[in-house]
Amino acid sequence: MFPEPVEGPVSAFASVPFDELRARGDELRARGGKLRARGGKLRARGDELRVRGKDASYPAGVTDPQPGLRIGFVPGVTLTKWRRIWGERFPKIRLELVEVAQPDQRPALVEGRVDMCFVRLPVDPDQLHLIPLYEEVPVVVVAKDHPVSLFEEVSLADLSEENVLDDVDPADAFDLVAGGAGVIVVPHSIARSHSRRDLVYRPVSDAAPTRIALGWPADGASELVEDFIGIVRGRTVNSSRTPKAPPAVKATPKADPPRRPPSGRRGARPVARHRRG
């Protein structure tokens, strides 16, 4: 008597023809070969970067090749200026920018997915350092033909009878407003980034502004983090931790050449004059 078939992964292939199993095995081996080849290329690229990194110029106090900084930012934050300044001061240190959804801003920092993040307050400050940077003007976004579009600004009282959409996915909110489902109140930077012809936005004069801050883990301080903080705070290249060029050596002034005797041959003795008796 033959034993009963064993339940599990092996028995799952019992009804598959042998030729099909062999074809699957050949396909898996081919995929494995491609992955090994790709891994070899990645290792070679890593070796090349390590060699190139040995002669890189690094910020003050940084002597070994660094992976760079990974900076997160919530929608609406523009980093063009700070990214440009970083590239000018540390051209060989990579600065990677990652957009982070607002509900995910704290987890991204605590879990180490980013080194620093431009967050929109409020954020639980536990285990974090936060530097408030600036405030954002709140605006209401409405359909182009909405009565609000006729005013330069509105108040919260003007919106009391409107269907203000809260807790709506930002990806869908602007489409809902354009379709007449209601209005939304968002920071000006977000409204500007979603600007479109069928929508308008107006400042809300008495709504509380939102604030943008720069945050990083309390135990995540490093030389690169300090240098990025300096750039955001507006330190100049002379006041930051950026390596400075050695001062130029002033040329020593040359001595004046010796003057010639006022008259006669060089080295001639003066002729003595005698009075007549």
Q: What is the pLDDT of residue 99?
A: 96
The amino acid present at 126, given as its one-letter code, is: D
Strands 138-143, 199-203: parallel, antiparallel or unpaired by DSSP? antiparallel
Q: What is the pLDDT of residues 102-127, one digit of tens each?
A: 999 999 999 999 999 999 999 999 99
Per-residue pLDDT reduced to its tens digit, 183-218: 999 999 999 999 999 999 999 999 999 999 999 999
- Enter the tokens of residue 271: 């002729």
The dotted CATH code for 138-203 is 3.40.190.10
Angle ∠(50,56,57) on CA atoms, nearest 5: 150
* Predicted local distance difference test score (pLDDT) of residue 169: 82
pLDDT tens for each residue of 231-249: 999 988 776 455 444 444 4
Cis peptide leading into 122, omega within 30 of 0?
Answer: yes
Residue type, 42: L
pLDDT of 176 strictly over 80: yes
Question: How confident is the model over 138-158, as pLDDT tens digits?
Answer: 999 999 999 999 999 999 999
Q: Which DSSP string do the residues of 115-177 spell out, in sequence order?
A: SEEEEES----TTEEEEEEEEE-EEEEEETTSGGGGSS-B-TGGGTTS-B--S--HHHHHHHH
Architecture of domain 69-133+218-232: 3-Layer(aba) Sandwich (3.40)
Average pLDDT, the chain: 80
pLDDT top residue among 28 and 208: 208
